[in-house]
Structure 1
């Protein structure tokens, strides 16, 4: 038998970690050393019993003791100090972050952070009786964010972990949470949902981000939530906001508004009142003196105007409302002034998906995708952001008259699960896919390499969930070559769309 690079004790612990549901990248943290790396492929080999099948699995108690006493090995050459860039902070819902809030003692798990202005514990979970968690979610959004733990007892019981009594939390789609929250709170707080396994117990986790457009207000009365109330998270409790904290929120919002408008004011001062007009986006008027707005003769002939007291509209058709008299003007002798407006593009649809950008109008991205020649663009991420169902998206597309018929038809097939972007890999594609699975692709240095990697990503299956984020990072690298090779765009669209249907497709409800 060939000499193994890792010991049987390490293999037994890795098997126990796999049984506990830990991901390859988290297991690597405990076994990678300066003089020996344990790659993801080795862990996958232990998982499928092609490596060390005869080694028994360590007991759960041995694994817990190993993790509790784990310390990173010292550097082999402590005399050499290399200055490195600080590590990027872990995501708020990373398993390491969530586990750091709990500790095991005497065979029992406890939430060590207790209840503060950023943490709240609930013993049970029911979406039908969700008014108290709604207050907390609103309070977090109006303060600096925080975590809600379900399956953890309250203070009198020492914040002991009791686990969820059933699987209602884990089986509830984030879209259902979104609908419940959106129906009571405006603007809708931004949140994420996860489950954490602590031995045989499951803890439900909701993380809420501070809202960028505070205050979040209750739009209707629902149980313990009172219509019109503004809730704020204070240490250990959520209650109606105090005047001083509300004043601070309003002052901060006013400050952001002033900072946003100052560049516009500066530009107006540079142009002067004779050369500037203000577009009032609330009522659609251009304001700035008595100067006329000139419309080209050809455009006038194509516009149907609605006169005062006369209404003859087609539902959904575009309408131009004018106040005052309209006269055609010959522009042949005038200098053309071109107004440029930033539009959604296929590149922005892909880039915002890869970067997980929280766009303000997510459904506009779905509609724009229906305008493109190709139907291969991310969709489910934007439907997930909007809380839109597949059925609702289909109805929206069918009512959208400007969509390209063939593109809209294929998008509807994707929404109905009649078409997938999965392509089984073989030959060179399979070899590249295996590199992705082992997370050993490295830096993408050319458009041709980007094509090969993007092509292989379409072969990723549902069971490869541990590499979804790694593959997303590869797409992000390949985006650097977007403008250098037009043929690469098709590969990028396909790869992004495959990851989109894998990661966010299951999170979009049917109806």
Structure 2
């Protein structure tokens, strides 16, 4: 752990100060910044994001890449914890936390749409649109999981979904597309949440424990049989060789560790 700072900043280490500096310099809202550092039993001054730049001139800001990796890791850690403890990642509380809306409900996370989130203005009605959603879901499952929000523009402006849209039909349709065209099965959750009087639809895809997820058939021009899709920055694309190698290597390591554990258990039973 990096050396901690003093006074009202004593609970922040120097690495965290560097991260907060860059997040503040990038114009991220104070409450959004604080949400990544405050946790049970830990108190941090609410003035930290606004004063930290002048308070610690000797600490250089973190890079944008370091901030992006930090945010992604913290959201992934929270989502994994939610899954393990039965907490619903698409509950109203969680969605509000993730979007970190301002009081007027019109400001979402600057630059949030990246590795772990995708914004859509509306729920797709055509097969091609549903194919793109299913492809994005598979790509999230092959990476670290992520959210799809419907009723939010690319710039984060919330417009909501039209009351006339049949959300339940969409859930059934997208479930059918995913089940028929991707294997093995990967878990996901769905919900409709009210944000300041506007309804948005939300999908959360868990990182799969059975990677890689691959397309088992052709469906429109957007899903190609035998393809493995992976979430890159702001896009879902066919996986690159290095990322596929990493997935397969981790899978082999899990299999080997499981085999060793089973062997050890048999040996202890025999003894």
TM-score by length of 2: 0.60
Residue 92 of structure 2 corresponds to: 95
Measure how far apart 1:130 and its partner are: 0.5
Residue 242 of structure 1 corresponds to: 240
> For residues 159 and 264 of structure 1, do their structure 2 counterparts lie closer, same or farther at Cα, with a shift above 3 Å needed?
closer
Measure how far apart 1:146 and its partner are: 0.5
Measure how far apart 1:184 and its partner are: 1.1
Residue 254 of structure 1 corresponds to: 252
Measure how far apart 1:94 and its partner are: 2.5
SS at structure 2 position matched to 1:202: strand
Residue 369 of structure 1 corresponds to: none
Residue 226 of structure 2 corresponds to: 228
The alignment status of 1:182 with 2:164, answered yes or no, reads no
> For residues 91 and 270 of structure 1, do their structure 2 counterparts lie closer, same or farther at Cα, with a shift above 3 Å needed?
closer
> For residues 104 and 269 of structure 1, do their structure 2 counterparts lie closer, same or farther at Cα, with a shift above 3 Å needed?
closer
Superposition pairs of residues 402-413 of structure 1, within 5 angstroms: none
Measure how far apart 1:263 and its partner are: 3.7
CA distance in 2: counterparts of 1:271 and 1:236, whole angstroms: 51
Residue 413 of structure 1 corresponds to: none
CA distance in 1: counterparts of 2:100 and 2:269, whole angstroms: 60
CA distance in 2: counterparts of 1:271 and 1:192, whole angstroms: 40
Residue 212 of structure 1 corresponds to: 209
CA distance in 1: counterparts of 2:120 and 2:269, whole angstroms: 59
Measure how far apart 1:266 and its partner are: 4.5
Q: Deviations over 1:67-109 (max 9, x none)?
A: xxxxxxxxxxxxxxxxxxxxx865422312201214246x561
Superposition pairs of residues 266-281 of structure 1, within 5 angstroms: 266=264
Measure how far apart 1:163 and its partner are: 1.1
The alignment status of 1:172 with 2:208, answered yes or no, reads no
In the alignment, is the contact (CA less than 8 A) between 1:169 and 1:204 conserved in 2? no
Choose from 105, 109, 113 the match for 1:112.
109
Residue 139 of structure 1 corresponds to: 139
SS at structure 2 position matched to 1:254: helix
CA distance in 2: counterparts of 1:242 and 1:231, whole angstroms: 9
CA distance in 1: counterparts of 2:226 and 2:119, whole angstroms: 25
Bigger Cα Rg: 1
> For residues 202 and 271 of structure 1, do their structure 2 counterparts lie closer, same or farther at Cα, with a shift above 3 Å needed?
closer
SS at structure 2 position matched to 1:109: coil
Unaligned ranges ≥5, structure 2: 1-80
SS at structure 2 position matched to 1:115: coil
Residue 152 of structure 1 corresponds to: 152
CA distance in 1: counterparts of 2:100 and 2:192, whole angstroms: 14
Q: Deviations over 1:447-492 (max 9, x none)?
A: xxxxxxxxxxxxxxxxxxxxxxxxxxxxxxxxxxxxxxxxxxxxxx
> Whose RCO is larger (CA < 8 A, sep 6+)?
2
> For residues 122 and 271 of structure 1, do their structure 2 counterparts lie closer, same or farther at Cα, with a shift above 3 Å needed?
closer
Superposition pairs of residues 252-401 of structure 1, within 5 angstroms: 252-266=250-264
CA distance in 1: counterparts of 2:243 and 2:170, whole angstroms: 34
In the alignment, is the contact (CA less than 8 A) between 2:91 and 2:191 conserved in 1? no
Q: CA RMSD in A?
A: 2.6
Residue 198 of structure 2 corresponds to: 201
CA distance in 2: counterparts of 1:226 and 1:166, whole angstroms: 33
CA distance in 2: counterparts of 1:123 and 1:94, whole angstroms: 20
Q: Deviations over 1:241-292 (max 9, x none)?
A: 11111111101111111111124444677899xxxxxxxxxxxxxxxxxxxx
